[in-house]
Structure 1
Amino acid sequence: MTEAKVNRKYKDTIFRMLFKEKENLLSLYNAVNGTSYVDTDGLEITTLQDAVYMNYKNDVSFVFDFELNLYEHQSTVNPNMPLRDLIYVTTVLQGIIRDEDFYSSKLIKLPTPRFVVFYNGTEPQPHKQILRLSDAYEKQLDLPELELCVTVYNINYEENKELLEACKVLKEYAQYVAMVRKFAMEKPLAEAVEQAVDTCIKNGILEDFLRKNRAEAIEMSIFEYDEEKHLTSEREIWKQEGILEGRKAGIHEGRQEGESRLAKLLELMLQGNKKDNVEKALADAEYREKLYKEYHL
C-alpha cells in the first residue's frame, strides 16, 4: 500500500471532530472541572468559523456556566500558548459583546475565561502544568498587570488516568492515538492507521465515530501523525544546528530572538507548506523581517 500524500496545511483533526459534538464536549468539561452536568442546552459553541485567526488556530471554544472555555489539543510542546490564547480570546470576546456600548456607564459583564491544552505528544511532560503569560515578560513583576494562565493536561494513555476515566471519549481517543503510534513503528503509516482503525472498531474504541467517519479519520490521522513527526524532527535539527539561537542565520538579535521568534516563524512556515522558503528565511534578513510582519510575530 502506498503512503497517502499529506497536504501540510491546517485542517480538521480527530480531536476537533470528536469534541465539536456538544455531548462529548460537556463530558470533557465535566472531567476537567469535576462537575456532572448533563444538559447541553446552555452550552454555546464560540469557535471562530474559519478556525484560524492570524495563523493561530483553536480547536474549540464555548461558553458554559458563565465561563468562556478555550480548549486546544497539542502534540508538540508549546510554551507560547498563553500568548496565542490572549490573541484568540480577544477576538472571541469581540464577537460576544459586539452589540454592547463600550462608553456606557454600565459595566459590561463577561464570561470568565478558562484556558486548557490537552497534550499528547511523545516528549515527556508532567501530568499537569500551568503556563503563564507573565513568564514571557522581559521584566518580571511580583504582580503583573496582565496575566493569562493555561492549564496543560498530559492525556497520553497511561497518563492522567483519573481525567481519562472521567471522560470516556477522551480515554478512547488516547487509546486510539497510542495504537496508531504502536503500529506505525512496525509498518508504513497508512497501513498502521488503517490497522489502528480496524482494531479500535473491533474492540469498541471510538467505534461509532470511526465507522461513520472511517475515510476521513484515516486521512486526518495520517496528516496528524506525519505533521507531529515532521515538527519534532525539524525542532531537533534546529537545536543541533544552532538555529534556535540564530547562529546559522547569522542573527545577532539575542537569545530570545533565536529561541522564540525565529523558531515560531519556522514552525508556522512548515505548517503552511512553505518548507522550500525556510532556507531563504534563514539567509535573507530582509525577507525574514517581511515574514515576521506577515505572520504577525
Structure 2
Amino acid sequence: MSMMLPVNRTYKSTVFIMLFEDRNNLLELYNGMSGKHYTNPELLEINTLENAIYMSIKNDISFLIDGRLSLYEHQSTYSPNLPLRFLFYISHLYSRMTKDDNLYGTKKVHIPEPEFVIFYNGREEMPERQVLKLSDMYTTKDKQVRLELEAVMLNISGENNHKLKAACHTLREYAIYTDKIRKYTEIMGLSDAVERAIQECIEQGVLKDFLERHRTEAKAMSIFEYDQEKHMRQEREAAWEDGHLAGIEDGLKSQIEKKLAKGKTLTEIADELEETEERIRELTDKIKGKE
C-alpha cells in the first residue's frame, strides 16, 4: 500500500525533490542505481518524512522496494555530517514502521535493510564516488566500531557518473540544468542565470515538460537553493579568513613574548618583525592582558 504523504512546499523543497516525487522518475533512478528493470511505479512505497516540526526531521526521499529501505538525499554543499542526519532519519522511519509491533516480545521484529545515497552537484571538486561513515565523526577511535552507518556520495556534476546518468535520463537532465545555472551565474545575476538555464533547457528538450509545467516554482526554488549555497560558502570563507588572521596574530604574539623576555624594546621588536611600533604595542597590551 502506498504511503505517499502530502508535500509541504514551504520546507526544504528543491527541484530535485519535485522531480523524484514523481514515481516514474524515482523508479527510473532506482533501476539505474540497482541495475533492475522494473516498469511498475506502484511497486514503490514512498515514506518520505514530512514532519518539519518534530526535531526538524525531513529527509529528501525515502521509499521501500525489494525489501530495502532506500534514503536518497541531494546536496549542493558538501557536509560531513550527513551520516548522523541519516541516523536520525532511519531511526524515525523504523520507529514509525514498528509502532504496532511488540518490541519487548520474544518474536523477532523484521525491518528492511537500509541504503543511504547522496547525490552531490556542488561547486566544490569532489570524487566521483566516496563513502561517508558515521564512525568518522566519533571523538574516540576504537578498533571495534559498535555503531556504523555508511552513506555513498555520488558526484553528478559535469561528466561524473556518466553510466548512472545514461541509465536515468531524468538525473542526467537535472545535472545538465544545474550545470547550466552554475555556468551562467559566473557571468550574470542569479535570477537571470536561472531564467536563461530554464529557457535554454526547454529549447533543448532538457526537462522540457517539467519546466514548462512548473516554471515559476522551479525558478523560485533554484534561486533559493543557490542563494543558500552562496551564503554557506561565504560563511566558510569568512570562518577560514578569521581563523587565518587569528593564526597570524597568535604567531606574532609568540614572537613578541620571546623578544620581550630577551629585554628587547618595542622599537627593536617592531624593526625586527617589520611591523609598526603601534601594532607591536597593541599586541603587547593583549599579551599582558592575558596574563
Please say if residues 49 and 93 of structure 2, whose CA atoms lie closer than 8 Å, have aligned partners that are also in contact. yes
Q: Is the 8 A contact 1:73 1:117 kept in 2?
A: yes
SS in 2 for 1:12: coil
Q: Secondary structure at the match of 1:63?
A: strand
Aligned equivalents of 2:26, 2:53: Cα separation in 1: 20
Match of 1:236 in 2: 237
**Structure 1 residue 141: deviation in Å?**
2.6
Q: Which runs of 5+ in 1 are unaligned?
A: 1-8, 249-297
CA distance in 1, matches of 2:160, 2:242: 33
Q: Which AA in structure 1 matches 2:69?
A: L
Q: Post-superposition shift, 1:157? A: 2.3
1:172 aligned onto 2:166:
no
Structure 2 contact 23–41 (Cα < 8 Å) conserved: yes
Q: How do residues 1-297 of structure 1 correspond to structure 2 at under 5 angstroms?
A: 10-51=11-52, 53-242=54-243
Shift of 1:104: 1.6
Once the 2 structures are TM-superposed, how far is the Cα of residue 79 of structure 1 from its aligned partner? 0.8
Q: Which has the higher helix share?
A: 2
Q: Do 2:72 and 2:119's aligned partners in 1 also have CA atoms closer than 8 Å?
A: yes
After superposition, the C-alpha distances for 1:77-96 in whole angstroms (9 at most, x for unaligned) are 11111111101111111111
Q: Percent identity?
A: 46
Inter-partner Cα distance in structure 2 for 1:174 and 1:217: 14
Asked if structure 2 preserves the Cα contact closer than 8 Å seen for 1:51 and 1:59, the reply is no
> Any conservation in 2 of the 1:52–1:58 contact (CA below 8 Å)?
no
Mean CA deviation greater in 33-42 or 173-182: 33-42
RMSD of aligned alpha carbons: 2.1
Cα-to-partner distance string for 1:242-291 (whole Å, 9 max, x where unaligned): 29x99x9xxxxxxxxxxxxxxxxxxxxxxxxxxxxxxxxxxxxxxxxxxx
- Distance, in Å, in 1 between the alignment partners of 2:30 and 2:144 is 30
Deviates more, 1:99-108 or 1:202-211: 99-108
Q: Which amino acid aligns with 2:113?
A: T
* Secondary structure, counterpart of 1:222 in structure 2: helix
CA-to-partner distance for each residue in 1:59-103, whole Å, 9 max, x for gaps?
111111101111000011111111111011111111111111112
Counterparts of 1:53 and 1:28, CA distance in 2: 29
Q: Which structure ranks higher in relative contact order (CA pairs < 8 Å, sequence separation ≥ 6)?
A: 1
Q: Secondary structure at the match of 1:116?
A: strand
Tell me, in whole angstroms, the C-alpha distance in 2 between the residues paired with 1:52 and 1:214: 29
State the shift of 1:35 in Å: 1.9
Q: Within 2, Cα distance between the matches of 1:52 and 1:36?
A: 37
Please tell me whether Structure 1 or Structure 2 has the larger radius of gyration of its CA atoms. 2
Q: Distance in 1 between matches of 2:53 and 2:134?
A: 21
